[in-house]
Amino acid sequence: MEKYVLTSLIIFVPYASFAQTNSFDVFTFQSPKYFIKSELPSSVQWSMKNNDTSFCVITVYKSLSAKDDITKDVMAQRKEQEVKKLNTANKEPLKMMTEQMLDGWASTLAIGNF
């Protein structure tokens, strides 16, 4: 029995130390490699800047109660979080994608330049 427990620890302990799972609001995730994480009460953000001055920012906002139309919800949140805060953000997103998920959940993504 001790042999099996020791074998299990040798296999699973190193994996657990590399694949640390975090959670924020209703989300469970693993932080992207090479990104710097910053967490605020209403959002969690990862950023990375390359030597050529290109960069990537990923922001996950705390969930809000949905209204009747998911597109209107996303556009209102986008206006509040991007358009008002970033002078160079386009008023309309370049692309919006919606996917129906399990148990009636829907996921919508708005992509834009700023």
The DSSP code for 85 is T
pLDDT score recorded for residue 114: 64
Q: How far apart are CA 6 and CA 22, in angstroms?
A: 27
pLDDT of res. 9: 41
Which SS3 state, helix, strand or coil, does residue 55 take? Answer: strand
Q: How confident is the model at residue 18 (pLDDT cuts 50, 70, 90)?
A: low
Residue with structure tokens 């959002």?
A: 43
Torsion of CA 77, 79, 82, 84, to 10 degrees: -130
Q: What is the pLDDT of residue 13?
A: 46
In one-letter notation, the amino acid at residue 64 is L
Q: Is the pLDDT of residue 6 over 70?
A: no
Residues 77 and 61 sit within 8 Å (Cβ to Cβ)? yes
For position 109, what pLDDT does the model report? Answer: 80
Alpha helices in the chain (DSSP H): 2-18, 70-78
pLDDT (tens digit per residue) in 19-75: 578 888 888 888 888 899 998 888 889 999 988 988 888 888 888 777 778 888 888
User: Quick check: helix, strand or coil at residue 10?
Assistant: helix
Strand order in the sheet with 55-61: 36-39, 43-49, 55-61
DSSP tag of 52: T
Span 85-113, pLDDT tens digits: 777 777 777 788 888 777 777 778 887 77
